[in-house]
Each structure stands twice: as C-alpha cells, then as structure tokens.
Amino acid sequence: MRFSHFNRNIKLFTLGLGLTAISFFGIQGMLKVIYVLRLGFGPEYIGIFNSMGAVVYMIMGIPSGWLGKKFGSRRMLLLGSAITAGGMFILPLTHFASENMVAVLPILHQIVQTIGWSLLGVNITPTVMLLTTPENRNEAYALLTTSRWAGALIGSLIGGLLPGLFASTFHIRLTDPAPYNFAIWLGTIFGIAGLVPLLMTRRYKEPAPARSTSRKEKMPLKKALLLTLYAYLGHSGFAAVVSFGNAYMDTDLHVSTTALGVLMALGQLASACAPFLAPFLAKRRGNEYSLLMAPLLTAIALVPAFLFPHWAAIAAARIVVLGTAAIWMPALQVFQMESFHPTWRTLVYGIVSTGLGLCFASVSLSGGYLSAHFGYRSTFLVGFILSVLSFVAFWIIMRMEKGKTLPTN
C-alpha cells in the first residue's frame, strides 16, 4: 500500500480522523468510563452512559446520511468534526459542576459528541468511495481504518500514563476523579487538531440526487435491512468488549490504570495493523469471506472471556475482537458501497449505521443491568451468542445472493 496512490483529500481526511481518534477512541475512550466510576457511579449508570452514545448514533444514522446527500458530504464532515470537538469539552466540566449536574454532564457529553461523530462516520464512507478507483478502494478503506486505530493506540498509551503522572505531580490518589479529569482535558486538544486537516480539503463533485423513477434506481430496502440486521449482530461482540472490558478489569480484576493502558494499546495495535490484511483477503477470497468469518472469530475469542475470570482472558479477547473488527469494517464498507446505486450509498450507510448504533445501545444498556446482577462476564456471553447468529445471518445472505450480480460502480 502506497500513500502516494491516494489523492490529496483522501490523505487529509485520513489525517483528520486519525487526530480525532487520539482523543475519541484513545484518551477519552479509555478514561471516561473509569472517570465516571471514580465519580461514584456503578454498572447501571455505565450501561446508560455507554448506551446513550449508541442511541444517539442510532437516531442520527439516517439523518446524517440524508444531510450528506442534501448538503454535501464535505460540509457534513466539517460540521461533524467541529461538533465532536465541542462535545469533548463537556465531560471534564463535571469537575466544576454542582452536585445536581454531575450525573447530567457525562450524558450530555455522550449526546453532543456522538452527534458529531455520526456526521463524520456516516459521510466519510461514501466520500472515500467517491474519491477512489476500484483498484485502490480496498486499500483506501483499510488506510482509513488503520488511521483511526493508530490514533486510538497513541491515545491509549497517553491515556494510560497521564492519570499516574498527574497523581504523582499534584499528590492526588488514583482513586480520586481529578487525575482522570486532567487527562481528559488534555485529550480535547486532539479533537480541535482533527478539524484542521479537514478545513484544508478541496471541494469535490458529488453525485446529484436521482431524478429517474425507474425501478433500477429505487433503493433496494429489503437488501438494506438484511445488511443492517447482519451488521447489528456482527457488531455485538465488539460492543460488549468495548463497553465493559475496561470496567471489568478495573472493578473486578483490579488491573492498574497503567497496565490497563498497555493492554488497551495492544488491542489498538492489533486494530491498526489488521486492516492491511483486508485488501489481501479481498483480492484472494472477496470481501464476503471476511464478512462471513469475522463474527465467527469474534465468537471464538469471547469464549475464554466469559469462562475465566482472569485479566489475560479478557485482554486476549479484546486484542482478537478489535483486530477482527478492524478487518470486518472495511470489508463491510466496500461490500455495502458496491452493492448499491451511487445515489443511495450515503442514505443506506446511514441505515446500516443506525443498526450499528442500535447494537451498541442495546448491548450497553442490557449489559449494564446484566453486569450489576450477574457480573460482567454475562455480557461477554451475550456478545458470543449474537456473534454466532451474525455468522449464520451472513451465510443466509450469501445463499440468497448466490447467482446474482451485485450492482458495482
């Protein structure tokens, strides 16, 4: 994969999302759950906290696609980056909030930040499709995924070190929320930095809305809904590990923040490297092979996580699940973009994103109550079951599509 093969806009979009990911998936992604725990909240609130972001992403999926189709994807990418950066500032404000607002601000942070991320995530996928050729398309999506997880890797390492550094500098205990608050404040800088490369992009021609009412150009709703169901099930194992993995290791297994940062960074490293396998697998076996096998591999990785109460079991599961998801997502994006008419790509991706958000919301919300009553490992068991169902669902989709020609660009 050569970076020079992509045009200027692809490079700038990749850089912008990578910088944003340092905070979104890295520093804040790692520390915000621990910070909320240090504020005195339990698993039920963590479930609501995580699910709120997922619910907003679910609600914003179709509107984000419609807005990109109506006003242009570049405008929505700029707006989304600005809103995401603004939302990052809300969480650390709990340090100065009154007692009545402490429970409100983390939820508000999730809502605002996720609105911005939905505008970014939904519109970047059809934009990459538009700015690439069939020859470098898989590589472009792999590069985009790699930049996101490379940013998360950097952010995880920084996030693992900062609380201890602030605690020793200001003589604060790590059981207090203050060291995590200071670290989250520092993470907001990367949110602002991520907006700069996007502002440097040039305008590009986007497909005009279809005016024909021919059957060929009507959106195939059945196929979109089937793909959304598969995406919902296939995202469940990832949602379980990301939502409750850190809380489980911190609360039940008593893993230190520094060790947690290292373990999380290993997962992010797998996520940063794994996408480079996606173009190879696509050329050798097709994207369908990755979409079929990824949920099965996720399910297998979750088995030790719900069977054995040991940090190595959940750490290994996290590495495999995150690495597999990093291959799964580019394959899903390319498969989806090539399966629908260009006019409908943004809107259909909004529908699929709604399914992804619904998955994260339902797993987070139900997982919060399951974890409180049956332990965190029960949530990993749910992720295992849904991942197996995802494997079965895509096998059925492949059987239905056998003999049909997909409407590629």
Q: DSSP letters of 330-371?
A: HHHHHHHHHHS-GGGHHHHHHHHHHHHHHHHHHHHHHHHHHH
Distance in angstroms (rounded) separating the CA atoms of residues 164 and 68: 42
Taking residue 175's Cβ as centre, other Cβ atoms within 10 Å add up to 8
Q: What is the pLDDT of residue 401?
A: 67
Element (H, E) at 136: none
Q: What is the pLDDT of residue 217?
A: 59
Burial of 206 (0-12, 13-18, 19+ CB in 10 A): middle
- pTM for the model: 0.71
Q: What is the pLDDT of residue 292?
A: 86
Q: Which CATH number fits domain 3-203+218-401: 1.20.1250.20, 1.10.1060.10, 3.40.50.300, 1.25.60.10?
A: 1.20.1250.20
Q: DSSP letters of 7-62?
A: -HHHHHHHHHHHHHHIIIIIIHHHHHHHHHHHTT--HHHHHHHHHHHHHHHHHHHH
Under 8 Å between Cβ of 255 and 311 = yes
Instruction: Classify 402 as helix, strand or coil.
Output: coil
Radius of gyration (C-alpha) of the chain in whole angstroms:
20
Under 8 Å between Cβ of 50 and 368 = yes
Domain positions in the chain are: 3-203+218-401
Return the HEC string of 47-86: HHHHHHHHHHHHHHHHHHHHHHHHHCHHHHHHHHHHHHHH
Distance in angstroms (rounded) separating the CA atoms of residues 24 and 136: 27
Round to the nearest angstrom and report the end-to-end CA distance of the chain: 22
Cα 12–Cα 14–Cα 16 angle in degrees, nearest 5: 65
Give the count of alpha carbons within 13 A of 286, CB side only.
8
Under 8 Å between Cβ of 294 and 327 = yes
DSSP state of 376: T
Q: Which tokens is 93 given?
A: 């404000």
> Nearest to residue 108, comparing CAs of 97, 120, 121, 124?
97
Q: Which tokens is 283 given?
A: 């050329």
As averages over each run of 10 residues, the pLDDT of the chain (409 residues) reads 71 91 87 89 82 83 84 90 94 87 92 92 84 79 83 86 90 90 91 92 69 55 85 91 86 83 79 75 78 91 92 91 86 79 75 83 84 89 93 82 49
Taking residue 383's Cβ as centre, other Cβ atoms within 10 Å add up to 29
